[in-house]
Amino acid sequence: MKCMMVSRIDDEKAIEYTGKLGDALCRGGIDVEFETATAHGLHREGSTLSKARPDMAVIVGGDGTILRTVQAMDRQVPVIGINWGEVGFLADLEPEEAEGVLTTISDGFLVEPRMRLSFFVGDSHIGDALNEVLIVTSRPAKMLRFGVIIDGILSERFRADGLLVSTPTGSTAYAMSAGGPIIDPRIEGALLVPLAPYMLSSRPHFISGDRPLEIRLESAKPASLVIDGQKSMDLGCEAAIRVKKSTTPALFVDVGRNFFAKVDQKLRRL
């Protein structure tokens, strides 16, 4: 098995741990390479994910590191996260158990696809999100006006500080903090969560991934769009944002951790 090691690069202890874990896996017969930025921190030779073409990416960090790694892939490969952050909803392993689990699954493992959402402005594909897209005003303390079109029908129009369009995987991230529900990641759909809506009747919506969905920004205030906290763009005051189920889901190594047991465990840490 060929394994790519990726570490958060703002933490020297995380980089050091990643180097030691990679060496241990290599001694166990696993073909190990280090991602370029991680290798630089270890003063070693490295490679990019697209060039290395690993069977698995082992990511040491928080959810942000995992999201950044998935965003960087030109071809999705299975990932497994080792929690080196605050909560780490996307990470299945803790540092003290990682070597044993990775050695055990080196002869083969199951993969769990996680739906991503593709976003388009006009005819341009602007990116895919594993967690969510955030649409917020570029001017603090100003509200935006949104229209939600489902199956070609205007289903709702509301004013709010912003709007989250989340995947089920992202339902335990920003969307949960904004009052959205926790959704089983095996269900495919788009969760819409208004941020501080003007009317209390503007509630979260969960929409099937098979339905045509469009978000219209209808505001006198400029807005920005942020994908997974990694990539941002200016929308201006008016834009039509089409949302579709991505044809390339993210792939997570399945180590047999029950999603709801993990959520219960993680939430008890907050």
Between strands 205-208 and 189-195, the pairing is antiparallel
- Of all helices (H) and strands (E), which one includes residue 114? strand 110-114
- Please tell me the distance from the alpha carbon of residue 193 to that of residue 237, in angstroms, as a whole number: 20
Tokens 């465990």 belong to 265
Check 63, 92, 128, 228 and give the catalytic one: 63
- Select from 152, 149, 244 the least CA-distant residue to 205: 149
The DSSP line for 218-258 is EEEEEEEEEETTTEEEEEEEEEEEEEEE-SS-EEEEE-S--
DSSP assignment, residue 153?
Answer: E
Tell me, yes or no, if 63 is annotated catalytic.
yes
Are the C-beta atoms of 164 and 197 separated by less than 8 Å?
no
Are the C-beta atoms of 88 and 266 separated by less than 8 Å?
yes
Who's near 140: CB < 8 A, 6+ residues apart? none
* Single-letter residue type at 41: G
Who's near 197: CB < 8 A, 6+ residues apart? 158, 159, 160
* Single-letter residue type at 67: L
- Please tell me the distance from the alpha carbon of residue 212 to that of residue 92, in angstroms, as a whole number: 33
Neighbouring C-beta atoms of residue 50, cutoff 10 Å: 11
The DSSP line for 57-72 is EEEEE-HHHHHHHHHH
Catalytic residue numbers? Answer: 63
